[in-house]
Amino acid sequence: MFTHVMIGSNDLALSRRFYDATFAALGASPGKTDERGRLIYAHDGGRLMITTPIDGKPATAANGGTIGIAAASPDQVRAWHAAGTAHGGTAIETPPTERPNGSVVAYLRDPDGNKLTARTRATR
């Protein structure tokens, strides 16, 4: 259904440190910068792009929005959460935890306030 998710950032260097670290914890490669200066992360068919807003106004986080990131294992969820908090992210909601459906879930806000979750697939 989707080709990519694009989010805004007010500090692309800080975003690069955060996303390079969190995606490395999931086994993904560091981001690449395209000719327009946007950061691009591609892994397992998904794509996240990060840019400064083209209208010149400050980037703001979506109120009520969450970007879900697939993790292969509970250990990857925990590593993603640890890498994020060590690289400018903020832990929110519960710590990495198992849900009733068997998935393991963690939540962070990136340095610009975007809400992210890493999770394993449900097992029951």
Tens-digit pLDDT profile for the chain (124 aa)?
678 999 999 999 999 999 999 999 999 999 999 999 999 999 888 899 999 999 999 999 988 899 999 999 999 999 999 999 999 999 998 899 999 999 999 999 999 999 999 999 998 8
pTM above 0.75, yes or no: yes
Measured between alpha carbons, how far is 65 from 47 in angstroms, rounded to an integer? 17
- The secondary element (H helix, E strand) that includes residue 115 is strand 115-119
pLDDT (0 to 100) of residue 31: 98
Query: How many other CB atoms are there within 10 angstroms of residue 72's CB atom?
Result: 12
CA-wise closest residue to 118 among 15, 100, 92: 92
> Rounded to 10 degrees, what is the CA torsion of 64, 60, 14, 17?
30
pLDDT (0 to 100) of residue 1: 66
